[in-house]
Amino acid sequence: MNISRNKSNIKMVLYSLLSAAQVSFVGTLIMSEVYAGLNSLNFGRIGQLYRNNPDVKRVHRAMFIFLVVQMLSDVINHNSMNNMLRGWAAIAVSLVIFTFMFRMFDDTPRIIIAFMCAEVVRMILFGNTDLEQDTSSLMEDYSLFKFRIAPITNYIILLITFYTYNKRKDMLTVAILMVYGLANVGLDYRSNGLFFLFGGLIIHFRRVLMHMTLARKIGLTIFVGIVFQILYMFYVHAVLSGEFGGKHAGDQLSETGNPYNPFSLIGQGRGEFFVAIEAVKDAPWLGHGSWATDEDNHYRSLMFKDLDKDKSRVLALNNSGVIPSHSVLLGAWVYGGVIAFLCMFYIFWLSLKRAFSLMMDERAMETPYYPLIVLFTVQLLWIFPFSPLPHIRSTLPLMIAFIITIYHSLQNDEEDEEEDLLPDNG
């Protein structure tokens, strides 16, 4: 078992480090993706995965259907060959990475520690090579912390809380998450800060939540909503007065119609989400095709409709390209139509179903992986609706494979895996 674990650790470390190397082939191909493909081409092992973890087959089936309907959409939309191949390759690569991650965690969930350590080293040496082109340019104007430092410190905090929770230092674990979350909000990375703040609160109240009746949960939800709104109003006032936050937060809030309404802020900060809805309305059944071009900047112009005409035209031209979506769910619908959306929504629903089950499972609470489960769950709730489609080949395979593997390990009570899930007694 130790030899098998060591091999899995080495494979996971190599996968992480190879993410720093990229080649131009049907878009951008990362060498870690090639490595994942070479380690996934074992149909006997995949069959074993299906028997051990039926959800692997469900995820595979959904991704495969997504690929087929995307091909159909591209052919019917007479998409360019380059865009076709880029779209198909992205889905195929994500399917490969899902398979690789499921295989690795099936050996032992503990290799996520080796992966996070390797990620810290890789990003320190080579930077965050997963940056998208549009976000990399923002670093010059906004937060170095958000794009360079936070990806490293996130993993460091997760590693620290893994060990503090493993040693049953629950209050210290919660304190670390809460302090780090507040620091992120202050350093202009609001969404990341909220992930850790909500994660810390869930871990602190986990046993209370587990035994709550439905009526009490509804009451608690209303109470939390009121408290959140009050704290949010204080936050907005502090940012607008220059006492807290950074340039990005200040610019967003000043351009929001009603900055004290958090939904208005989401609408301003994730305008692509609502533009994608308009694109879906125009082609609901088969979508617009892979990397669909925004002809005459029609959809991007909608993002800037509240600005004066000259500024709106300039911003639309400077941001020309594909139809904007900034959502895994809506991005799949825009590219591949309603069936593609349903495939992604099914994976989203399946992942959350397993994740919520773990969050309320007393056995899961006893494992040192519980803080990771909680943080990954909170992030999934944001990534699927509000993050770009390429996340299906970057962050989502890791989170989904980890959550589903832990779930089935606890369900099956397999001796080797159960031993790996137990905390240290020290």
Instruction: For 270-331, give the DSSP string.
Output: THHHHHHHHHHHHSTTT-S-TT-B-GGGHHHHHHTTTS-HHHHHHHHHHT-SBPP---HHHH
Instruction: Classify residue 321: in a domain, yes or no.
Output: no
Tell me the C-alpha to C-alpha distance, in Å, between residue 123 and each of 154, 155, 393: 12, 10, 18
User: Residue 418 is encoded by which pair of tokens?
Assistant: 């159960």
Instruction: Classify residue 307: in a domain, yes or no.
Output: no
Q: Which helix (H) or strand (E) holds 24?
A: strand 22-24
Instruction: Classify residue 223: in a domain, yes or no.
Output: no
User: How much is the pLDDT for 141?
Assistant: 46
User: How much is the pLDDT for 417?
Assistant: 47
More confident residue, 256 or 60: 60
Instruction: Classify residue 365: in a domain, yes or no.
Output: yes
Name the residue range of residue 38's domain: 2-216+281-298+331-421
> Mean pLDDT, to the nearest integer, of 206-224?
83
Instruction: For 348-413, give the DSSP string.
Output: HHHHHHHHHHHHT-HHHHHSTTHHHHHHHHHHHHHHHHHS-GGGGGTHHHHHHHHHHHHHHHHHHT
How far apart CA 195 and CA 282 sit, in angstroms, is: 34
Selection from 51-55, 140-144, 252-256 with the highest mean pLDDT: 51-55
Instruction: Classify residue 33: in a domain, yes or no.
Output: yes
User: How much is the pLDDT for 46?
Assistant: 87
More confident residue, 415 or 237: 237
How far apart CA 238 and CA 328 sit, in angstroms, is: 32
Instruction: Give the CA-trace dihedral at 126, 128, 132, 136, to 10 degrees.
Output: -80
**Could you give the number of structural domains in the chain?**
1
- Percentage of the chain beyond pLDDT 70 is 87
pLDDT band at 73 (very low <50, low <70, confident <90, very high): very high
More confident residue, 389 or 27: 389
How far apart CA 242 and CA 264 sit, in angstroms, is: 20
User: Residue 137 is encoded by which pair of tokens?
Assistant: 């340019």
Instruction: Classify residue 18: in a domain, yes or no.
Output: yes
User: How much is the pLDDT for 76?
Assistant: 95
Instruction: Classify residue 168: in a domain, yes or no.
Output: yes
How far apart CA 304 and CA 51 sit, in angstroms, is: 51
Tell me the C-alpha to C-alpha distance, in Å, between residue 114 and each of 8, 313, 371: 9, 48, 17
Instruction: Classify residue 269: in a domain, yes or no.
Output: no
pLDDT tops 80 at residue 192:
yes
pTM to 2 decimals? 0.90
